[in-house]
Structure 1
Amino acid sequence: MDKLQKHLGKLRNLLEITFFRVLLYLILGFVLFTAMYSNVKPEKLDLRKLEVAEQTVRSPITVEDKDSTERKRKEALEEVNDVYSLNREIAQNRIDLTTSIFQSAIEVIDETKETYEKADVTESPILSIQERVEILKRKLTDNETKELTNQTFIALVQAKKGELTIAKDITITAINEVMSKKISASDVVLAKNQLEEQIKSSSLNSSLKSSAIELGRYAVVQNVFYDQEATETLRQQTIEGIEPVRILQGQIIVEEGKFVDQHIYRQLELVGVLDSKNAIQPFIGLTLVILIVLSAIYYFFYEQRIPTEAKQSNLLLFSIIFILAIVIMKIVSLFQQFDYAEIGYVFPAAMGALLIKILMDEKLSILYTIIIAICGSTIFNQGTAGTFNMAVGIYILCSGIAGILILSRQNHRSKILKAGLLVSLVNIVVILALMFLQNGQYSGLDYGLYILVALVSGISSSVLTIGLLPFFEASFGILSTMRLIELSNPNHPLLRKILTETPGTYHHSVMVANLADAACEAIGANGLLARVGCYYHDIGKTKRPQFFIENQMNIENPHDRLPPQTSANIIVAHATDGAEMLKKHRMPKEIIDIAEQHHGTTLLKFFYHKANKNGKEAKEEDYRYPGPRAQTKEAAIVGIADSVEAAVRSMSQPTAEQIESLIRNIISDRLQDGQLNECDLTLKELDIVAHSFIETLKGIFHSRIEYPKNDKVEGEK
């Protein structure tokens, strides 16, 4: 394991070089392309025109059949009739024309009457019939004089004025009634005959009736004409109303044993199952998807505000987990060839999300879940018509997100198995939802099988997570729960060293551990880390144990004979000495940090004031710990607990009020001295920490009953 850790350390160092980071992304891209290549590769079919199909072929895509659409539109256009519009103005114009003819005849009669009156003629008229006809013709246009017969004009000029008025009304009424209907070119004769029949039934005299009929027939003309604009509009509406003919994804183009005619063969070409030579579009699409995935991963790590070393370590760890998940997914997908359509649901979808959530970052685990869902929907696409199996993709996404949310609520690694069981329940709900949405016909056995694979997926996710966690934690130097438990064993060489050489310090460390553990748990920090850190935080005191008061059993205090500066240097050195000793024994960095940071840059007030009393003006920085200040919640709480335990132990029979006042004063001093400025403890959390210290110390320093002495026994003694 040490060798592996060294190799991984070298890899992390290489990732600081841009070339190797690019190489890692290329490896990820290559793994993704290799895993999904066979799933996007178009299926090659040996189908020939005018032969029987040896297998059922479904369309892999949805595409428009433009030839069929065009043929359907042509057939629809052939059924579209030309549009003929009724021109109502023609009827009115013909009525006006007929009225004008009758009115002109009446005017001729009126003019003839005036001529009689002026000439005082009683025997024969001055104007002959022919002359009156000529006068009437002059009032009309050439069209009327040519189209109408002379007998009609004679009948009009010979009739009385009242008869003409009646004839006019009858004729106009007949014209209006006939021409209010559509009259095409072929219907003109029929319309004229209808008008003639209407006038024949009138009470006009024969000559005037004949004239009215001729005038009416002359007036009736075609009033319906071809409307090109309306016809084009109708044709356009017909074309737009025709839905494009589409070959839908999953649609059966040809069934096994059916004859492949020209139409079917053309559809097979259209969906691309025959043209396998130039089918590079799926591979271009896959490459673009992989580029999007790699860009998202790069952007996430680029935006991370963490030290470069930790960033490269996270990138390497993420890549290993991601590749491992893809390999497992590909192995599981191989069973699809045995017609196990539901095999994709067996994949431990939450495994990678749980590992990344525990080892790295929750946001990164969400990004991983989205990416692995996309990959899964492609890798498990066998048996589906398209490139993506959306049901499996949704299942993987929901399972991974559920694992992240459930584990975040538990917040303990010991609850991983329980989280896996809850993920299994979520998997079952998701699968049932997908089955019901598809509205398929499933048997009880089908439902049982799907529920079984959902349980296997959730439980295997938690089991694999538990199994892989120690490997990743040890390989990448991540401090695990198991490692912390091992370090807390009293038989550990360093703890035995503290116990045998500095028993007072060991007892002090255990007391501080109890305080820090309870306080960290109260605010949601890592209590076990704080406890183990406390066991080792004063390991540096084993170098000069007699210079620390808890180890001065029945001996003189050596500081009474030393200058304040020397004493301060000895006391201050225990933090740096402890860190060096822990580094030499390859202890985890978190433990070393607690030992180095638990005093921060605090001031040794006793020796500082002692130096000032001697008459010399001491520099404050000479009596401060070198630091650094606490960087984490655990280190800060250990430092406060260390001061609190030492201060309370020095009190004689402390009361609860005295303990509370002392604790809050120590925390206030740390705040004012800026010792908590570099960790993310809030004021609310500090109040909770103070309350936890108070409750713990009350239990230790509670008042006890003073038992009465037995005088008889004492006397005998």
Structure 2
Amino acid sequence: MNHYINNFYKNQAFFYKAFLFILTAVMVVYLMPKGGKFKYEITKGKPWQYENLYAPFDFAILKTNEEIVKEKDQIIANHIPYFNYNEEIVEKVKLNAAEQISVVFSDSIINRRGRVISEFVATALDGLYENGVLQEQTRLAEDHLVYLKKGNIADEITYGKIFLQEEIPDYLTTNINRSNLTSLRPELLELFYNSIEPNVIYDSSFTQKELDSKLNSISYTRGSIERGTIIISRGEILEGQKLNVLNSLKQEYESQIWSESSYNWILFGYSLLVSMALLMLLLFIRKYRRDIYENNVKITFIFFNILLMVFLTTLVVNFEPRYVYIVPLSILPLTLKAFFDSRLGLFSHVITVLILGFVVPNSYEYMFLQIIAGIVTILTVSELYKRANLFISVGQITFIYIVVYFAITVIQEGNVQDLDMEMFLTFILGGLATLFVQPLIYIYEKLFGLVSDMSLLELSDTNSKLLKELSEKAPGTFHHSLNVANLAEASANEIGANAMLVRVGALYHDIGKMENPTYFSENQTTSVNSHDELSPKESAEIIIGHVIKGIEIAKKNNLPDRVIDFIRTHHGTSTVYFFYMKEKEQNETAVAANFRYPGPIPFSRETALLMMCDSVEAASKSLKEPTTAKIDDFVEKIINKQMDEGQFLNSNITFKEIQLIKKILKQKLKNIFHLRVEYPE
């Protein structure tokens, strides 16, 4: 039992990766569509390159989206709205008008012309309320047909036959003039204004209900294909009816309700493909990015980002496939490049796009477009911490999307009239969404404890709390760190290393000297040397201790591990040679191990580079009357000694790169000492 437990603890990193691999694969497969995948690629305008295709089962021919939209628009345009006619209001108005006669007209007028007035009012109201008075005007033409509902009967009339309230004065004036009642016009108008009420109202709910009923009755198919019927022959062009029938077959095939056995086989197939893709990514990281492979947090981060992109894409596809390009897939290579490198970013992007090819419609177009966009992302984005660079890169990515979409559409349609302008909008929105990468990187840094160039830029600020404390407590060390940072940055640019990371590492590599600043020569301002009162061994312990103290201070101030690595390794396993030789003068049995830094030795190009720059800059202070020859010999001697001691064995740095670093250091030191070329006499 103990044997198995020991094996588990010994291989827990491997078991974690296996668990992460399986979990990611399962979740990706869960998000994928569960229908079958049509095995033929359908590209409009291209010849059919497969064998003759016969219908495998009976299926209906689907109408195109354009045909359905056109049919719906026609139904909406021809739909007749409904208006409700209220007869109770009419009876109320007539009674009220009859009462108003005695109120508005004097008794003498009523006695003389009462019968004429009553007949006129009744006739005018009958004409006015024949089709009713509309309460609210709707946006319809006068000749537009409408249904006027009177009880359970709906009469079809033109909209212009219903009186609008603003038309009533003209109607009354015309009738008064025609009936020779002009002398009584003011009284009659007052009577009507006091009595008339609108009695027709637009029935929006019933109208919408009828419209929905008609829209729902639209047939989405036209005709059918029987099993065994030839659909398309080899070499025929995919267009018109042939293309429509093929798309109908594809949709029917992918929407079939599969038997339990078939469904399980589909799941098994998806699982194999997804697992294969993720395994290729894992093997790539294991072979070419061993440091990332051995860090489970980084592996988790990579798999999480792939899963996030798959989740967002499937979410959009399930909602509306047309908007699939709104998903900012270029964020994936951007993010991985910010934390790792371009090669890993592009490889992960390609793997993700291959997986999404089984999720999105028109998979070939999607994969081609997204891979091109990913390549452009990797090639254009540099120094992500500079906001202008990000905006320029996003603009370039969006432009590439538009150009590739334009090219594909022209190939398929053979003209530019069928370009979908809405697609250009989705590309622009996707580009704008890509700008979210900066806050996303910040979130990732907090969640996964990673560090990007943006964080390094913040740490390189010499006004930060820790560097200010260093400049106050150990000004000589601070000045030394600045010089080392400049040398290291120039050298890193020469060999293509991470210049920002090296600069930050150089600024913080000696923060441990804040504990005992006067024990380091660069901080001694008087002729009194603090080491005079100590034994060589005690002095060496203080000198060596600044590495451990630096690590403690860095962790206390939450510096990233990538920066702390420079503190750990900037002396490697070298010996404090001055005090070792001093001890040896006093005691011939002195042990060199007591005067050696604990290490580890540098394990990257950047940490190795800092060791060289730190040693050269510190030792350069001891040069007396420096000349070009002295500096060249001096740099060669220091770096060659480090090579002889095996300090760079784990740093993956080449002899050529070391030579380039030597060249830069010699040049920079000559500039520092203001040396000129020695002219012959």
SS of alignment partner, residue 468 of structure 1: helix
Q: Give me the whole-angstrom Cα distance separating, in 2, the residues matched to 1:403 and 1:287.
A: 34
Q: Is it true that 1:471 corresponds to 2:451 in the alignment?
A: no
Task: For residue 599 of structure 1, report the CA deviation from its aligned partner.
Answer: 0.7
Contact 2:292 2:298 in 1 (8 A): no
Q: Assess if the C-alpha contact under 8 Å between 1:417 and 1:459 holds in 2.
A: no
User: Could you tell me which residue of structure 2 aligns to residue 293 of structure 1?
Assistant: 274
1:452-479 deviation per Cα after TM superposition (whole angstroms, max 9, x unaligned): 5445444543x13233122112321112
Query: Does the aligned pair in 1 maintain the 2:473–2:517 contact within 8 Å?
Result: yes
Q: Equivalent residue for 1:327? A: 311
Which residue identity lines up with residue 647 of structure 2 in the other structure?
Answer: Q
Q: Do structure 1's residue 428 and structure 2's residue 406 form an aligned pair?
A: no
Distance 1:326 1:610, change over 3 A: same
**2:220 corresponds to:** 55
Q: What is the match of residue 360 of structure 2?
A: 380
Counterpart mapping for 1:23-422 below 5 A: 25-26=22-23, 28-37=25-34, 54-56=219-221, 66=228, 276=257, 278=259, 281=262, 284-285=265-266, 287-301=268-282, 304=286, 306=290, 310-334=294-318, 336=320, 341=322, 343-360=323-340, 362=342, 364-381=344-361, 389-407=363-381, 410=382, 414=386, 415-422=389-396
User: Structure 1 residues 276 and 632, CA, compared in 2 at 3 Å: closer, same or farther?
Assistant: closer
Find the counterpart in structure 2 of residue 657 from structure 1.
629
Equivalence map 1:624-663=2 (5 Å)? 624-663=596-635
Q: Which amino acid aligns with 1:665?
A: K
The residue aligned with 2:88 is none
CA distance in 2, matches of 1:541, 1:272: 72
- 1:681-702 CA deviation, whole Å, 9 max, x = no partner? 2111112212222232233221
User: Which sections of structure 1, spanning at least 5 residues, go unmatched?
Assistant: 1-12, 70-241, 256-266, 382-387, 705-717
Instruction: Note if 1:562 corresponds to 2:534.
Output: yes
| Aligned equivalent of 1:442 | 416
What is the Cα-based RMSD across aligned positions, in Å?
4.2
**More deviation, 353-362/506-515:** 353-362
- Distance (Å, rounded) in 2 between the aligned partners of 1:586 and 1:679: 25
Deviation at 1:401, TM superposition (A): 3.2
Moved more, 270-279 or 640-649: 270-279
1:65 to partner: Cα distance = 5.6
Paired amino acid for 1:682: T
Q: Which residue of 2 aligns with 1:229?
A: none
Alignment match, 1:22 = 19
Residues 474, 310 of structure 1: alpha-carbon distance in 2 compared, 3 angstrom cutoff: farther
Tell whether the 8 Å contact from 2:333 to 2:349 is kept in structure 1 after alignment. Answer: yes
Amino acid of the residue matched to residue 277 of structure 2? A
Paired residue for 1:93? none
Aligned to 1:154: none
State the one-letter code of the partner of 1:368: S
Q: Which moved more, 1:370-379 or 1:568-577?
A: 370-379
* Cα distance, 1:442–1:45 mapped onto 2, change above 3 Å: farther
* 1:572 and 2:553 correspond: no
Distance 2:258 2:252 in 1: 14
Deviations 1:350-374 (A, max 9, x none): 2222223333455544443334334
SS at match of 2:33: helix
Structure 1 partner of 2:166: none
Structure 1 residues 58 and 587, CA, compared in 2 at 3 Å: closer, same or farther?
Answer: farther
The CA deviation at 1:600 is 0.8
The aligned counterpart of 1:486 is 458
Q: Is the 8 A contact 2:628 2:675 kept in 1?
A: no
- Letter paired with 1:532: V
Is contact 2:383-2:453 (8 Å) kept? no
Question: Counterparts of 2:480 and 2:34 in 1: how far apart (Å)?
Answer: 63
Kindly tell me: are residues 56 and 372 of structure 1, through their superposed partners in 2, closer, same or farther at Cα, counting changes over 3 Å? farther
Q: Secondary structure at the match of 1:36?
A: coil
Indicate how the Cα distance of structure 1 residues 275 and 555 shifts in structure 2: closer, same or farther if over 3 A, else same.
Answer: closer
Greater Cα shift, 347-356 or 283-292: 283-292
| Per-residue deviation, 1:270 | 13
Matches within 5 A, 1:533-612: 533-612=505-584
TM-score, with length taken from structure 1: 0.60
Write the mapping of 1:660-671 to structure 2, written as runs, cut at 5 A: 660-671=632-643
Q: Distance in 1 between matches of 2:586 and 2:568?
A: 31
Give the deviation of 1:484 after TM superposition. Answer: 1.9
Q: Give the AA of the match of 1:545.
A: P
Instruction: Give yes or no for contact 1:601–1:627 (8 Å, CA) kept in 2.
Output: yes
Number of residue pairs aligned between Structure 1 and Structure 2:
489
- 1:602 CA displacement: 1.2
Residue identity in the other structure for 1:330 = T
1:76-124 C-alpha deviation (Å, 9 max, x unpaired): xxxxxxxxxxxxxxxxxxxxxxxxxxxxxxxxxxxxxxxxxxxxxxxxx
Letter in 1 for 2:476: G
Q: Which amino acid aligns with 1:54?
A: S
Give per-residue Cα distances to partners, 1:642-677, cap 9 Å, x unaligned: 221122222234223322221121111111121111
CA contact (8 A) 1:512 1:642 kept: yes
After TM superposition, the score normalised by the length of structure 2 is 0.62
Residue deviations 1:259-293, cap 9 Å, x none? xxxxxxxx989976997464974773354134311
Residues 65 and 247 in structure 1, CA contact (< 8 A), matched pair in contact too: no
Rg comparison, structure with higher value? 1
Q: Match of 1:301, as an amino acid?
A: L
Greater shift, 349-358 or 627-636, is seen at 349-358
Report the Cα distance in structure 1 between the residues aligned to 2:226 and 2:646, rounded to whole angstroms: 71
Is the 8 Å Cα contact of residues 522 and 688 (structure 1) preserved in structure 2? yes
3-state SS, counterpart of residue 436 of structure 2:
helix
Find the aligned partners of 2:455 and 2:641 in 1 and give their Cα distance. 35
Q: What is the alpha-carbon distance in structure 1 between the residues aligned to residue 591 and residue 262 of structure 2?
A: 75
Partner amino acid, structure 2, of 1:557: N
* Deviations 1:617-659 (CA, angstroms, capped at 9, x unpaired): 4222222212111112222222211221122222234223322
2:664 counterpart of 1:692 = yes
Contact 2:24 2:307 in 1 (8 A): no
Counterparts of 1:363 and 1:58, CA distance in 2: 52
Indicate the SS of the match to 2:449.
Answer: coil
How many Å separate the matches in 1 of 2:369 and 2:219? 35
